[in-house]
Amino acid sequence: MLINYQLGEEIRDYIKNVLSKETMVLDSEGTCIAATKSEHNGEKIDLNDVGTREDHYIKKLDGKEQVVIPLKYQGEAVAYLVIGDKQKALEYTSLIKSFAELLISQYFENNKPNMDTTDQFVVKLLFNATPNDLPFYQSEAKILGYDLNSKRIAIVVHLRGFWEDSLLSINQPSFERDEVIKNTKRKIETAVNGFFSKNNDIIIAYLGNDKFVVFKAVDEGDEENIKKFLSRSFKSIFEPLQGFKIHSVSVGYSNAYKSITGLISSFREADLSLELGQKLWGDNKSYYFGDLGILSLLGEGDRSKNLQFANKMLGRMKNEDLCKTLECFFDHNLNLTETAEKMSVHRNTVIYRLNQISKILGADPRVFEQAMSIKIALLIKRLFV
- Contact predicate 212/188, CB 8 Å: yes
53 φ/ψ angles, rounded to the nearest 5 degrees: -85, -30
Give pLDDT tens digits for 279-306: 888 899 999 998 887 777 777 777 777 7
- The number of residues in the chain equals 385
**pTM (whole model) above 0.85:** no
Percent of the chain with pLDDT over 90: 37
Give pLDDT tens digits for 234-285: 999 998 898 878 889 999 999 999 999 999 999 999 999 998 899 888 899 9
Helices marked H in the chain: 5-19, 86-110, 117-128, 134-143, 174-195, 223-232, 234-238, 259-281, 294-300, 303-314, 320-331, 336-343, 347-361, 368-384
Average pLDDT over all residues of the chain: 86
Helix (H) or strand (E) holding 57: strand 57-61
254 φ/ψ angles, rounded to the nearest 5 degrees: -120, -175
Q: With H, G, I as helix, E, B as strand and everything else as coil, classify residue 92.
A: helix
Give pLDDT tens digits for 190-223: 999 888 877 889 999 999 889 999 999 998 888 9
pLDDT category of residue 313 using cuts at 50, 70 and 90: confident
350 φ/ψ angles, rounded to the nearest 5 degrees: -60, -45
